[in-house]
Amino acid sequence: MAIDAEYIKTIRKRSKKSKVYTQYQMMGLLLADILEDQAHKSLYIKLAKEHNEQKLLELAKSISQNKNVKNRGAYFMRMLTMKKK
């Protein structure tokens, strides 16, 4: 069964396109960009779905401006859990 080379190229192009369908997906990806933590973007999408997006964005921006924080993603999660309590 031979697969056409053009078809393979089309599939590769299609896989590179963004597939953001909802607002919370976009917000989660934005949070991952702000925190420079692309490895955990699915976590940020889930958080954006479950929490107030505006508060998450404010927290992420304040953390990104702090130059003393080395691991922004971990610090973000720590601050998020502390705010819940």
Burial of 31 (0-12, 13-18, 19+ CB in 10 A): buried
Question: Domain map of the chain by residue range?
Answer: 20-84
pLDDT in tens, 11-64: 888 887 777 889 999 999 999 999 999 999 999 999 999 999 999 999 999 999
CB atoms within 10 A of CB 2: 4
d(CA 77, CA 46): 13
CB atoms within 10 A of CB 78: 12
Report pLDDT for 62: 95
Report pLDDT for 1: 52
- pLDDT exceeds 60 at position 82: yes
- Record the pTM: 0.77
